A = this chain, B = another copy of it.
Amino acid sequence: MTRRPVTSEPAPAAQPAAAQPSTDGEARSGGRLFIVATPIGNLSDVTLRALEVLRTVPLVVAEDTRISRRLLVRHGIDARLTSFHARNAAARLPDLLAHLRGGLDLALVTDAGTPGVSDPGEELVRAWATEGGSIVPIPGPSAVLAAIVASGLAGPRWSFEGFLPRSGRDRRERLGRIAADERATVLFESPNRVVATLVDLAAACGPDRPIAICRELTKVHEEVVRGSVGHLATLGRQGALTLRGEFVLVVGASMGGTVTATEPLAAADAIRAARAEVERHVAQGMARGEAARRVAWSSGLPRRSLYQAPDHQDRETAAGARGSRPPP
């Protein structure tokens, strides 16, 4: 079989010039390994080029062929599918490389999102790159980027940490680094571990650190809950967060300053502290509505609860507890 053209562009589709000094040119006659991003939930989150590639390649390599078949059927594509996952990766790799060496193209997909990040496909990509083969990314959905965008917290630099270790020194070290990082951090978490991770993040970063809990992104029940990590940890412990579906957490950047490990503030304390912060903004000339809005955002408390001024004693306690950093 010869290479079929994969393009719906007036200009030819990206064909890496393959000027790779790491290779001797031998592999240029090999097939192209297309790394195709697929939906993370909504089946319409697929690009025109992804559909064109999936339609024209002689072989699609999928993590779970049943899941990928659903996407293909939805878009009327009858591709040849084969599975490639953690359990069969070692056995399949030589065949797939032989396919590529033979000059045939191949599309790699995963169950959701962009392949090559925490999945067995990484090994195929690395192996073909090592041989100097053509690797063509077909960009599209990624849960990491979708969460960054939905959070409104990321700024110009950020880290992706995947899943945290479940316990032990490794977990503590990673939490400590997230706490100190002046970049936002994106984490994956399973539903039954979200609350534990919120509690640990509140202890490591202090309760004021802003966070966005993204659930079921792009799906029918998509939900983004924003607030301070302390407040959301408290809500989580009280059973007030929905804990179904897929979670991506975006932890705001450290704004500098020393953070000591503390328990999240109790709800009453949190409201008192937040009201004090509103008063502080008002004293500095900010309109009360705007101050309440900002503090609601940074504290995760209902705006309504923030209109009543605290008494003097509260204000002092609160200012100390919440520090003097402005909301993000």
CB distance from A167 to the nearest CB of B (A): 18
Check: A144 CB closer than 8 A to any chain B CB: yes
- Nearest CB of B to A35, in Å: 5
A305, closest chain B residue (CB): B24
**Cβ contacts A113-125/B at 8 Å (1 or 0 each):** 0111110001001
* Chain B residues, CB < 8 A from A229: none
Contact B222 A148 (CB under 8 A): no
B242 close to A328 (CB less than 8 A): no
B300–A126 touching, CB < 8 Å: no
Known contacts A145-B144, A149-B116; is A23 also within 8 Å of B303 by CB? Answer: yes
Question: In the complex, A122→B158 CA distance in Å?
Answer: 14
The answer to whether A116 touches B45, judged by C-beta atoms less than 8 angstroms apart, is no
CB distance from A133 to the nearest CB of B (A): 10
Does A20 lie at the interface of the complex (its beta carbon under 8 Å from any beta carbon of B)?
A: yes
Give Cα A24–Cα B52 distance, bound, in whole angstroms.
Answer: 45
Stoichiometry, copies per complex: 2
Is there contact, CB below 8 Å, between A136 and B9?
A: no
Contact residues in B for A192 (Cβ distance below 8 Å): none
Q: How far is the CA of A240 from the CA of B20 in the complex (A)?
A: 11
- A1-29 interface (Cβ within 8 A of B): 7-9, 11-24, 26
User: Bound state CA distance, A147 and B136, in angstroms?
Assistant: 10
- Knowing A37-B145, A46-B48, A48-B46, the reply to whether A21 touches B232 (Cβ < 8 A) is yes
Q: Is A222 a contact partner of B15 (Cβ separation < 8 A)?
A: yes
Chain B residues with CB under 8 Å of A125's CB are 149, 152
Contacts of A226 in B (CB 8 A): 20, 22, 129
**Chain A 227-249 near chain B by CB (<8 Å), digits 1 or 0:** 10001100100001010000000
Question: Which of A57-65, A275-283, A291-299 touches B?
Answer: A291-299
Most chain B beta-carbon neighbours within 10 Å: one of A20, A122, A154: A20
Residues of chain B with a CB closer than 8 A to A13's CB: 42, 44
B-chain residues with CB within 8 Å of residue A304 when the two chains form the complex? 24
In the bound complex, do residue B136 and residue A21 qualify as a contact, i.e. CB atoms below 8 Å apart?
no
A302 within 8 A of B: yes
Is A189 an interface position by the 8 A CB rule?
Answer: no
Q: Is there an interface contact between A12 and B139, defined as CB atoms closer than 8 Å?
A: no
A328 CB to closest chain B CB, in angstroms? 7
Q: Shortest Cβ distance from A278 into chain B, in angstroms?
A: 14
Asked if A150 CB lies within 8 Å of chain B CBs, one says yes
B16 and A223 contact, CB distance less than 8 A: yes
Q: How far is the CB of A22 from chain B (nearest CB, A)?
A: 5
| Set of chain B residues within 8 Å of A155, measured between Cβ atoms | 122
Point out the residue from B44, B148, B224 that lies within 8 Å of A8, measured CB to CB. Answer: B44
| Residue of A114, A118, A217, A224 contacting most chain B CB atoms (<10 Å) | A224
Chain A 29-62 against B: per-residue CB contact (8 Å), 1 yes, 0 no? Answer: 0000001010011111111110010000000000
For the complex of A and B, the 5 pairs showing the least CB-CB separation, nearest first, are A139-B141, A129-B152, A14-B222, A44-B49, A118-B156
